Amino acid sequence: MPPFRTAVEAGALTVMEGYHELNDVPVVSSQRLLRQLLRGSLGFAGVLVTDWAEIKNLHDYHRAARSEEDAVLLAINRTSIDMSMVPWDNSFPRYL
């Protein structure tokens, strides 16, 4: 966490979550990491963006959501994501 704290303290304007999971929880849907730690403890107030197609991956890869629509709702309701990088279609704003 020290590199993230340093980046936030230095004035980082954007943070991107990654493709990985921590303790079997995809970062893109982790309330603990993105809302409590990043926004709360670290005080990050900038733009939080997903990695490429990562909300879709809650359904397609991580198997944490029953559908792509459920994946959008899961990520948005649990985290403080500001922007989703959605390739190829307009599913994210449609489901949102």
Question: What residues have CB less than 8 Å from 60, skipping those under 6 apart?
Answer: 53, 68
DSSP 50: P
> What's the rounded Cα separation, in Å, for the pair 73 and 71?
5
Beta bridge partners, 21, equal 26
Residues assigned a catalytic role: 51
* Contact between 43 and 8 (Cβ < 8 Å): yes
